[in-house]
Amino acid sequence: MKTFEDLPIYKKAKELSVRIYRIDNSKYLKDYGFKDQIQRAAVSVMNNIAEGFERGSDRDFIKFLYYSKGSVGEIRSLLNLAFELNYIEKDFYELMKNDCIEISQQLANFIKYLSNKLEK
């Protein structure tokens, strides 16, 4: 991979961010604090992947992938709240939750791969 944009995990994280930014519900849109928090968490996932990649070392990259993983957990927590507050429909909630779980698993696998590479 020559750029972070080439990474499948970055592409998946960017898709998640775009979907979160496109949530269109009047209650959600009026809750500026909530909207800002979930959007910042979503952007954090993709930006930490990019920043870690650009650092140029696997050790730094792993650290930033962990930050991304933490932000995915924050998004899942906020999605739970968004569903309870009727900001999002059940189908959308399930889709987004499953995407978060998938991204988290992919990040964990990538961290494991890079960690094993460092040990060799």
Q: How far is CA 94 from CA 15, 56, 65, 73, 90, in A?
A: 16, 36, 24, 15, 6
**Model pTM score:** 0.93
How confident is the model at residue 119, as a pLDDT?
86
| More confident position, 118 or 65 | 65
Answer yes or no: is pLDDT of 74 > 90. yes
How confident is the model at residue 99, as a pLDDT?
97
**Alpha-carbon torsion (71, 118, 8, 5), positive or negative:** positive
For the chain, the average pLDDT equals 95
**Alpha-carbon torsion (10, 12, 18, 26), positive or negative:** negative
How confident is the model at residue 1, as a pLDDT?
74
Superfamily of structural domain 4-119: 23S rRNA-intervening sequence (1.20.1440.60)
As a whole number, mean pLDDT of residues 105-117 equals: 96
Delimit the domains of the chain by residue range: 4-119
As a whole number, mean pLDDT of residues 57-73 equals: 97
Whether 78 and 96 have beta carbons less than 8 Å apart is answered as no
How confident is the model at residue 97, as a pLDDT?
97
What pLDDT digit, counting tens, does each position of 11-43 carry? 999 999 999 999 888 888 899 999 999 999 999
